[in-house]
Amino acid sequence: MEIKYRRILLKVSGEILAGKKGFGIDAPVLDILSDEILEVYNMGVEVSLVVGGGNILRGTQSETLGIDRVTGDYMGMLATVLNALALQSILEKKGAQTRVMSAIEVSRVAEPYIRRRAIRHLEKGRIVIFAGGTGNPFFSTDSAAALRASEIGADVILKGTKVDGVYTDDPVKNPDAKKLRKLSYTDFLVRDLKVLDASAVDIARQSGIPIIVFNLTKRGELKRIVSGEDVGTIIHT
Q: What pLDDT shows up at residue 63?
A: 76
Q: What pLDDT shows up at residue 60?
A: 67
Is the entire prediction scored with pTM above 0.85? yes
Q: What pLDDT shows up at residue 101?
A: 98
Mean pLDDT estimate for the chain: 94
CATH of the domain at 136: 3.40.1160.10
Instruction: Give the tens place of pLDDT for each residue, 60-79.
Output: 677 788 899 899 999 999 99
pLDDT band, residue 85 (cuts 50/70/90): very high
**Stretch 125-143: mean pLDDT:** 96
Domain annotation covers residue 30: yes
Q: What pLDDT shows up at residue 172?
A: 80
* Total number of domains constituting the chain: 1
Q: Which residues contact 156 (CB under 8 A, 6 or more apart)?
A: 5, 8, 9, 149, 209, 210, 211, 212, 225
**Residue 75 lies in domain:** 7-236
Domain annotation covers residue 1: no
Domain annotation covers residue 29: yes
Q: What pLDDT shows up at residue 59?
A: 63
Domain annotation covers residue 159: yes
Would you mind telling me the total number of residues written for the chain in this entry? 237
Domain annotation covers residue 101: yes
Radius of gyration of the chain from Cα atoms?
Answer: 17
**Stretch 79-84: mean pLDDT:** 97
